[in-house]
Amino acid sequence: MMMHIDLSSVLRQTVSCELYSNLVTRPTGAAVRAQIEALLADARERSLTVIDFSHVGMIDFSCADEVVAKLLLQSVSTERGGREAYFLFRGVTEDHWDAIETVLERHRLALVLETDDGAARIVGIVGDGERAAWEKVYELGRTGPADLASALGADESDALAVLDTLHRRRLVMRTEEGYIAVGGIGIRHD
Amino acid sequence: MTSVITVPPSLDDHTFEQVVEQLASVPPDAKVLIDARHTRWASPYGLTALLTLGQTREERAAFHAPDAEETASYWARTGFFKYAEELFDLHGSVPRARGGESSVLLEITPVVKSEDVHEVVGRIQQKAQQILAKELNIDAKATVGFAMTLSEVCQNIVEHAGRGGWVAVQTYTWRKRLGRRVVVIAVCDAGCGFRQSLESAPGRVRSDRWDDAEALEEAVVRGVSRFRDPGRGQGLAGVRRYVGRWDGKVSVRSGTARIAIVPSWDDDVPLLEKLAPFPGSQVQVTIPERVAGGPR
């Protein structure tokens, strides 16, 4: 299941004002996140949601903590039962990045950003090994531990371990046919 | 008997202390006259702090407007009298506000609820971009950080003060210390202040030294918040980072202490303790004009 959430639309519904395009204040952030969670409530076992910042003017630290960090923290939480929620962040510009980077560092989180040309990259707190593995999975498409090990020149057990870590962090999806990077094959340009 | 509190000729964050010192011996329910007749200039901090002073009085205070027509007229254009008349019995010549003031980026604006912060940020953005880039030679990219800073300091009122306050943003040439243009954000409230806010954290253990100064150090320097949520406390940390990047200054007064992140161009004291008590929190952020060779 794939969903697209335009944050500026959610913001306008939340603060009941057509004029506001800035994600500021913690209560606003909490309300926007609650709205996103409500939209995700019906999601099935595995869902990918594009969180679109394209029409958001700016975001402050408090709002980034509520909207970005808490959303990600919940997605990586083990208390979500069998449901796996993945997020791809679109339309993030320099105007948003300062606040987002700050909260990712604070909570030691990472996320996948869609770039202007439709490609994807991981940002935030990511180890070198995790980054190399993610980029290889992104490049290869659907990948198993053996393919990744071979591509990286690593042991299969190490490849499996890093794939597990990336999966736990919701940076790659685990399917029956292998692992797919969030923002990778079949999930670009929805 | 009415106590007369004399407002200094030049009212800023430093000289406001003279006002607070005069008030220290006056009970909150005593009659006071705030005498600004001889005041010729006031910073946004001075004006917003005067309004919070009005909030602190149990007995409605009297306020004498500046005699100088130019000063009174300027104060009117900043929106000062609009709010002062709700708090004080006004005396002297109080001009009607006519026309906008070009140096005022944001006239004095009440901050009570989250929506007020949206309003403030929305109003400042376009004007801030012009001022920062054209007058202060600061990269236009700094505008977003400026709006974030404004948002976070205003949110402190909504989240922690327990009562409304005011914000004002203005540019002027700071001849005395800097000889350059500056843009100044002032956010003042007469709420519970940093110490009481942190004391309300559940299970908080106070140190032997616990006072206003330590509360300010905890909140401003170490990013401690009354909330257990680990995501809290990022606002002031972000403000400090922004101010550092643009060689600016931030000072926070609360209770009997004042803390400042002091840049090289200023000779202020980083921590002042045992000041005369004043309720709430008063924050000032100063971003100077960028000169060649300064921070990017």
**Residue A168 belongs to domain with CATH number:** 1.10.10.10
Confidence of residue A80 (pLDDT cuts 50, 70, 90): low
Torsion angle defined by CA atoms of residues A107, A112, A113 and A119, in that order, rounded to the nearest 10 degrees? 160
Same domain for A75 and A32: yes
Q: How far is A184 from chain B (nearest CA, A)?
A: 30
Report chain A residues whose CB lies below 8 A from the CB of B158: 25, 27
CA distances from B238 to A107, B150, B192, B233 (A): 15, 11, 23, 9
Report the alpha-carbon distance of residue A47 to residue A44 in Å, rounded: 6
Which residues share a beta bridge with A178? A175
Q: Residues B4-9: what's their mean pLDDT?
A: 97
Same domain for A76 and A53: yes
Whole-number percent of chain B with pLDDT over 70 = 94
Same domain for A133 and A174: yes
Q: What are phi and psi of B283, to 5 degrees?
A: -115, 140
Q: Residues A148-177: what's their mean pLDDT?
A: 95
Domains present along chain B, CATH in parentheses: 1-92 (3.30.750.24), 100-296 (3.30.565.10)
Confidence of residue A40 (pLDDT cuts 50, 70, 90): confident
**Mean pLDDT lowest among B105-109, B165-169, B183-187:** B105-109
Please, which residues 102-131 of chain B have a Cβ atom closer than 8 Å to chain A? 114-115, 117-118, 121-122, 125
How high is the pLDDT of residue B6?
Answer: 97
Q: Residues B189-214: what's their mean pLDDT?
A: 84
Same domain for A42 and A109: yes
Confidence of residue A32 (pLDDT cuts 50, 70, 90): very high
Determine the residue among A18, A26, A73 to mutate to test chain B binding: the one whose Cβ has the most chain B Cβ atoms within 10 Å. Answer: A26
Q: What is the count of structural domains for chain A?
A: 2
pLDDT, averaged across chain A: 90
Report chain B residues whose CB lies below 8 A from the CB of A70: 231
Q: Which residues, 6+ apart, have CB-to-CB distance to B105 below 8 Å?
A: B124, B127, B128, B131, B169, B170, B171, B183
Using CB atoms, pick whichever of A27, A62, A106 lies closest to residue B152.
A62
Same domain for A84 and A41: yes
Determine the residue among B151, B154, B246 to mutate to test chain A binding: the one whose Cβ has the most chain A Cβ atoms within 10 Å. Answer: B151
How high is the pLDDT of residue B80?
Answer: 96
The answer, yes or no, to whether residue A47 has pLDDT greater than 70, is yes
How high is the pLDDT of residue A189?
Answer: 40
The letter for the amino acid at A21 is S
Report the alpha-carbon distance of residue B84 to residue B86 in Å, rounded: 5
Q: What is the ipTM of this complex?
A: 0.80
Token pair, residue A35, equals: 């709205």
Same domain for A145 and A106: no
pTM equals 0.87
Confidence of residue B276 (pLDDT cuts 50, 70, 90): very high
How high is the pLDDT of residue B215?
Answer: 92
How high is the pLDDT of residue B41?
Answer: 95
How high is the pLDDT of residue B258?
Answer: 97
Q: Say if the Cβ atoms of A62 and B235 lie within 8 Å.
A: yes
DSSP-derived letter for residue B186 is E
Whole-number percent of chain A with pLDDT over 90 = 73
The answer, yes or no, to whether residue A23 has pLDDT greater than 50, is yes
How high is the pLDDT of residue B126?
Answer: 72
Q: Residues B164-190: what's their mean pLDDT?
A: 87
Determine the residue among B111, B114, B227, B239 to mutate to test chain A binding: the one whose Cβ has the most chain A Cβ atoms within 10 Å. Answer: B114
How high is the pLDDT of residue B293?
Answer: 62
In this structure, the number of other CB atoms found within 10 A of the CB of residue B218 comes to 18
Same domain for A115 and A155: no
Q: How far is B235 from chain A (nearest CA, A)?
A: 6
Same domain for A56 and A19: yes
How high is the pLDDT of residue B282?
Answer: 96
Q: Residues B134-159: what's their mean pLDDT?
A: 87
Same domain for A117 and A168: no
Report chain A residues whose CB lies below 8 A from the CB of B245: none
How high is the pLDDT of residue A137?
Answer: 97
User: A57 and chain B: CB distance < 8 Å anywhere?
Assistant: yes
Q: Residues B177-192: what's their mean pLDDT?
A: 88
The answer, yes or no, to whether residue B4 has pLDDT greater than 80, is yes
Q: Residues A15-19: what's their mean pLDDT?
A: 65
Confidence of residue B238 (pLDDT cuts 50, 70, 90): confident
Same domain for A158 and A91: no
Report chain A residues whose CB lies below 8 A from the CB of B234: 61-62, 65, 102-103, 106
Q: Residues B228-239: what's their mean pLDDT?
A: 80
Q: pLDDT of A90-132, one tens digit each?
A: 999 998 999 999 999 999 999 999 998 989 999 999 999 999 9
Q: Residues B147-168: what's their mean pLDDT?
A: 90
The answer, yes or no, to whether residue A190 has pLDDT greater than 50, is no
Last residue of a domain, one of A125, A141, A172: A125
Q: Say if the Cβ atoms of A58 and B114 lie within 8 Å.
A: no
Whole-number percent of chain A with pLDDT over 70 = 92
Domain that holds residue A35: 1-125
On whether the CB atoms of residues A28 and A14 are closer than 8 A, the answer is yes
Using CB atoms, pick whichever of B152, B159, B241 lies closest to residue A60.
B152
On whether the CB atoms of residues B18 and B42 are closer than 8 A, the answer is no
Report the alpha-carbon distance of residue B279 to residue B94 in Å, rounded: 27
Q: Residues A77-98: what's their mean pLDDT?
A: 85
The answer, yes or no, to whether residue B216 has pLDDT greater than 90, is yes
pLDDT, averaged across chain B: 89
Determine the residue among B113, B119, B120, B121 to mutate to test chain A binding: the one whose Cβ has the most chain A Cβ atoms within 10 Å. Answer: B121
Same domain for A85 and A7: yes
How high is the pLDDT of residue A188?
Answer: 44
Last residue of a domain, one of A85, A104, A125: A125
Report chain B residues whose CB lies below 8 A from the CB of A69: 231
Do strands A172-175 and A178-181 pair parallel, antiparallel, or not at all (unpaired)?
A: antiparallel
User: B141 and chain A: CB distance < 8 Å anywhere?
Assistant: yes
Q: Residues B143-148: what's their mean pLDDT?
A: 90
Q: pLDDT of B64-106, one tens digit each?
A: 999 999 999 999 999 999 999 999 999 999 988 776 666 778 8
Q: Residues A36-55: what's their mean pLDDT?
A: 88
How high is the pLDDT of residue A6?
Answer: 95
Q: What is the chain A residue with the closest CA to B144? A: A95
The answer, yes or no, to whether residue B204 has pLDDT greater than 80, is no
Report chain A residues whose CB lies below 8 A from the CB of B114: 25-28
Same domain for A152 and A119: no
- CATH number reported for the structural domain that contains residue A18 in this entry: 3.30.750
